[in-house]
Amino acid sequence: MSDFSLDARRVVARAHDVATNRVVIGRDVAEVIRALAASVGGKAVAASGIDAVADAPADRSRILLVASPNVPEGRALTRDEIDGLIAAAPHDGLVIIDESLSEFASSPRAAFAAPLFGPAMTDPRLAVVRGVSRAADTDVPRAGYAIAASDVVARTAPAVPTAEQLAAITRHLSPDGLDDTCDRADWIQAERQRIERTLRDRMEKAELERRPFIDIVHSDGDAVWLPVADRAHDLAEHAGAVAYPGEGVRYEVGSDGDAFIDAVSEWVAR
């Protein structure tokens, strides 16, 4: 292990208030997840959504993967849901929670197993995966890392990040880097809430006037989620968002929020 890699692991460990031997870093989040699954001799079974999480342990899956907040809906686990997943996992199993979008969450009930600025949970059946935040200013491919039990980390061998990636993750999780990232994350969170609130007001007015409307749901991620089911492709094309066929549309918050609001309003009124 290079000194540079060890330094990066120490920075990650300090940010999450854990020992360095509980941290492993890889080239991206997906690579880290694959390496974690391989460390316990299996393949991660992904829960398709937060609602499916409660049913997943019933299958006694050895490795369960869930994102919180998830994509595309942006729903986050509660502490009871996290505890339930861990309690239901086999003694030799592993619950992998991808918390890469956690800094954008605003729900009072949202809970995270490895939050920034707080100690990570320590159950040996739990591994938390994160990446360099979308709120971080970097052009380097975003490295991923995991916080897990030391024996799991010792068996986990993802592809080694580049020196540039290690520098980026060290910068991102340094005190100054965290301040900058959190400022940007706060802006994205506030803008997401503004878009949701504005659209909700417009849709409530449309409903009262017996005009077509969309139910505006809350997201804890970095995007607005509109559950328009089989109309997803049409709305995505009109509003410049990403379609999830049969489910809805995901708009990643950026600088064109007002244009998105107007486009959605126009599409509903057609």
pLDDT in tens, 145-155: 999 999 999 99
The label of the residue with tokens 């990232």 reads 181
Over residues 222-242, the mean pLDDT reads: 97
Report whether 94 contacts 62 (CB < 8 A): yes
The model's pLDDT over 63-105, given as tens digits with 9 standing for 90+, comes to 889 999 999 999 999 999 999 989 888 888 899 999 999 999 9
Domain CATH code at residue 244: 3.90.1150.10
pLDDT at 21 over 90: yes
CA distance 224 to 217: 8
Structure tokens at 9: 């692991």
Of 139, 173, 207, at which residue does a domain stop?
A: 173
Structure confidence at residue 227 (pLDDT): 97
Confidence of residue 36 (pLDDT cuts 50, 70, 90): very high
* Mean pLDDT value across residues 4-29: 92
Comparing 53 with 181, the larger pLDDT belongs to 181
Q: Do both 198 and 245 map to the same domain?
A: yes
Which structural domain, as residue segments, surrounds residue 212? 182-269
Do residues 223 and 243 share a domain? yes
- Residue 169 shares a structural domain with residue 262: no
Res 58: pLDDT: 44
Higher pLDDT, 192 or 2: 192
Last residue within a domain, chosen from 155, 173, 191 = 173
- Confidence (pLDDT) at 127: 96
Residue 70: strand, helix, or coil: coil
List the single range of 36-40, 228-232, 234-238, 247-251 with lowest mean pLDDT: 36-40
d(CA 252, CA 230): 20
Q: Do residues 138 and 132 make contact, with C-beta atoms less than 8 angstroms apart?
A: yes
Answer whether residue 228 shows pLDDT above 60.
Answer: yes
Residues 74 and 191 in one domain: no
The predicted model scores a pTM of 0.90
Instruction: Report yes or no: 131 and 249 within 8 Å, Cβ to Cβ.
Output: no
